[in-house]
Each structure stands twice: as structure tokens, then as C-alpha cells.
Amino acid sequence: MTNFRRNHLECVFRKEASSHIGCSLIEEVLGDSGHEFSVVEPQVCECCCRQSEPQVTRWNPTIASLILERSSKMLADSDVPPNQKAKLESVRSAALDRIPITLATDTFAVSPPLASGPVDSLTLSDLQQRIPLPPLQHELASPEKSSSFCWAVGITTASREEETLGDTLAALGESGWSHASLFVDGPMSVDTTLAKLRDVLATSGRLMNVDVTQRSTAVGGWSNFCLMIAELYHRYPTADAFLLLQDDALLARYSDLRHYLEVVMQRIGSRSIASLFCSGVEAKQNTGWHRRDNEIQYGAQAFVFGKEAMHQWLASFADTQPKGENPQVGIDGRIGRWAWRKRIPIWLPHPSLVWHLGETSTLWGDAQPLGPRQASDFLETMDQPS
């Protein structure tokens, strides 16, 4: 990943003693007044800092697994008072809920073994070999990359307990884009993230200009998405493609990815949509681009609308609005149903060109991006040595 991770030496829960390191969060949760069960190893602290910042009332998977192990040990003591035993059983149950569980038969990864910086090992030709281009859908003079291809890029974000926006923006810059529009839903500061982004990209000689549109009062995920589309189109009415990202979408970090997608969009036609995220349930055995013949289930992390597809969306905007359902969730399902009704094809790559970051969703509370909501194969990790 990038350098958007916490420093374990600066953790507010870190308690250094002469012979060990303690975690005051674990100590408080377990009621470990004797400090016997709250000692942690340095590598565990580093692992914790690669995940969301924990709180006493909310634990990331590393903290949850430690609490599960140590509450079990404390419960094994026959001398535990009944009131403390009840509390420990409750704590143990809560810890189980916060640990990603996969079975031996599962094909869905919990977290990808991502590199610490841009991979950048595949050229445009390499990318076309790894994920073969879709068949040409219309007459096209030259399906090669063109310097005149124009992008409009938008990212929606909202306040969340874990930082993923920085990694999303950095991956965007490392993948060949130099400009994006950020749509902030509600009162949150992005100044620190943008300042750090400049430093991270500067190490590889890249720049990223980010325009920020912020609403003081949050309108919700679906409304923020719709308003993003409207503003992007008003700003860039001649764009050839509209890349629409959520703040937990990590693009495969290859500098020629943008050029590769330009070729893809030229081949499938401007009246098409590409979902760069391919979930486990959408994955195919064969690599390449696959056209969906029915409604897409997961994919809101990263959509690319062709110019004509965007015109169709805006022309039928009223038809896309929810009726009698939660208006702020189900972005991918709503786009999928609309595209199916309008006979607008949606194409998906296998392996996925996007990894779904984070441990929770801003829309679904504590829901984790696991199982079918995660990609079974991510191109970037497939290129790293095992």
C-alpha cells in the first residue's frame, strides 16, 4: 500500500515498559488490571496499524483476534467471578463478530498481499495480454490509445472510521490519471489526506490535481453519487468517458492502466458501461472482458460510463430514482437494473482491476467487504511473487 498507514510508535494505546509493550485498549476491554493479558509484540502493533484505527468500542480484526484469544484464556480460569465471567463472555462474542472468517472451500480473499508502493511492472501490451481486450463492438478506425481521449473522474467520500480515501487517490495517480474531482458528503476534512497525497505521488514523479466539492450537510450515498454525475457532466460535457469511484476502491497500480482502459472503452463503444470491479460471484473461469446479460449485483466501487451511456443516464434521470426503498443504498443494483432496461451493456474484467478496501462500509455500517462482496482475483496481487 501507500504511506497512508498509522505509525505504531505513535499509537495512543501503546504502553511501553522496560520489558514489554502493553496495549491500554485491550487492558480496558478485558479489565486486565494485572497487565498479564494486554502485552503485545511489536509486529502485532505494526499489523494493527495497517488496519482501521481501533477504539474501545470498535475493534479492527487484529485487536478482535487478540481479545478473542485472551478472553478465552481468562474464561478458562475457574476462579473468575460470575460478574466478570459474564462480561468476558460478552466481549468474546463481540470479538468473534469482528474477525473475518473464511472456510477452506472459499475462493474469496480476506485481504490482498499488496505491495508497499506502485507495482508499475506491466506495459500497455502486457495488460492486453493479461486481460485480453473485449471484441470490437462497432466500426472503429483505430482501436489504439489516443492522446485526444478525454476523461472525467469523480470520487465520492464520506466520514468513515477507517482511512481509505488516501490509498484510493494515490492508486488513481499511480495508474495514469492526473486530475480528479472529489465529492465530500458532510462535514469532514480532507486537507491532511490531500497534503499527504502530494508527498506520496512526488516520490514517483507524479502529480494529482484534486478539485473538492463539499456539502456541509450529508445527503447520503446515492444522492452524492447522482450529484457527482451531474456536476461532472456540467464541468466536462465533451468527456469520452466518466470514471466514477468510491473512496474504498483501489485501482490496480499500473501506469498504463488509463491507456489500457481507453482502448477498452473504444472497443465496447460509448453506449456501454465498464465495471472495473469484478466480485467473486461475477468472476469467470476465462480471463478477459465479459458482457453481462442480466443485472449486475456488485460493482459500485468503480464504474466507467461511455459518453452515450452517460447521455442516456442523464436523459432518464427521473427513472433511476428509488421508489419505496432506502434511497441511499444499492447503487450498483440501481445502475444494473437501469442498464438492463435500457439495453446498455455492462462489461466486467476477470481478474478484477479494483480491490475493495477497508473493513466496513459507509452505507452498511459494520458490513465487511468479504465473501461475494470482494474480488476473488485481483490483477495486481496475481503479478506479485508468492
Residues 28 and 142 in one domain: no
Residues 79 and 200 in one domain: no
The sign one gets for the Cα dihedral 165, 378, 100, 279 is: positive
What pLDDT, on the 0 to 100 scale, is given for residue 325? 58
Is residue 113 pLDDT above 80, yes or no?
Answer: no
What pLDDT, on the 0 to 100 scale, is given for residue 312? 94
Residues 136 and 255 in one domain: yes
251: Cβ contacts below 8 Å, ≥ 6 apart: 168, 171, 172, 174, 175, 245, 257, 276, 302, 353, 354
Residues 152 and 43 in one domain: no
User: Do residues 332 and 299 lie in contact, with contact meaning Cβ atoms separated by under 8 Å?
Assistant: yes
In a domain, 250, yes or no: yes
| Across 364-370, average pLDDT | 45
Q: Phi and psi of 352, rounded to 5°?
A: -65, 145
For 168, the enclosing helix (H) or strand (E) is helix 165-174
Task: Count H helices and E strands in the chain, helices first.
Answer: 12, 13
pLDDT band for position 36 (cuts 50, 70, 90): confident
What pLDDT, on the 0 to 100 scale, is given for residue 166? 92
Residues 252 and 300 in one domain: yes
**Of the listed ranges 44-48, 88-92, 340-344, the one predicted with least confidence:** 44-48
pLDDT band for position 258 (cuts 50, 70, 90): very high
The CATH number covering residue 133 comes to: 3.90.550.10
Mean pLDDT, the chain, rounded, equals 82
pLDDT band for position 264 (cuts 50, 70, 90): very high
Residues 139 and 283 in one domain: yes
Is residue 276 pLDDT above 70, yes or no?
Answer: yes
Is residue 221 pLDDT above 70, yes or no?
Answer: yes
Residues 54 and 131 in one domain: no
Burial (CB count <10 Å: 0-12, 13-18, 19+), residue 9: exposed
Q: Could you report the per-residue pLDDT of 368-386, keeping only the tens digit for each? A: 444 445 556 888 877 654 4
What pLDDT, on the 0 to 100 scale, is given for residue 260? 96
Residues 31 and 178 in one domain: no
**Of the listed ranges 215-219, 282-286, 303-307, the one predicted with least confidence:** 282-286
In a domain, 3, yes or no: no
Q: Could you report the per-residue pLDDT of 169-205, keeping only the tens digit for each? A: 999 999 999 999 999 999 999 999 999 999 888 888 8
174/178 Cα distance (integer angstroms)? 9
- Host domain of residue 271: 124-382
Domain final residue, candidates 62, 97, 132: 97
Domain final residue, candidates 56, 81, 97: 97
Residues 136 and 225 in one domain: yes
Is residue 341 pLDDT above 60, yes or no?
Answer: yes
What pLDDT, on the 0 to 100 scale, is given for residue 177? 96
In a domain, 1, yes or no: no
354/300 Cα distance (integer angstroms)? 11
Q: Please count the CA atoms within 13 angstroms of the CA of 343 that sit on its side-chain side.
A: 0
What percent of the chain has pLDDT above 70?
A: 78
Using DSSP's 3-state secondary structure scheme, residue 376 falls into coil
Residue given cell 489526506 in the structure block: 193
What pLDDT, on the 0 to 100 scale, is given for residue 284? 66
What pLDDT, on the 0 to 100 scale, is given for residue 144? 52
Domain final residue, candidates 81, 97, 113: 97
What pLDDT, on the 0 to 100 scale, is given for residue 317? 80
In a domain, 309, yes or no: yes
Instruction: Give the residue, 283 or 126, on which the prediction is more confident.
Output: 126
In a domain, 102, yes or no: no
Which one-letter DSSP state was computed for residue 363? S
Question: Considering its fold, how many domains does the chain have in total?
Answer: 2
180/212 Cα distance (integer angstroms)? 9
In a domain, 109, yes or no: no
**Bridge-based pairing state of the strands 179-185 and 151-158:** parallel
Helix axes 191-202, 165-174, angle to 10 degrees: 30
pLDDT band for position 307 (cuts 50, 70, 90): very high
Nearest to 176 by CA among 196, 149, 156, 199: 149
What pLDDT, on the 0 to 100 scale, is given for residue 53? 78
Write the single-letter amino acid at 130. R
Burial (CB count <10 Å: 0-12, 13-18, 19+), residue 185: buried
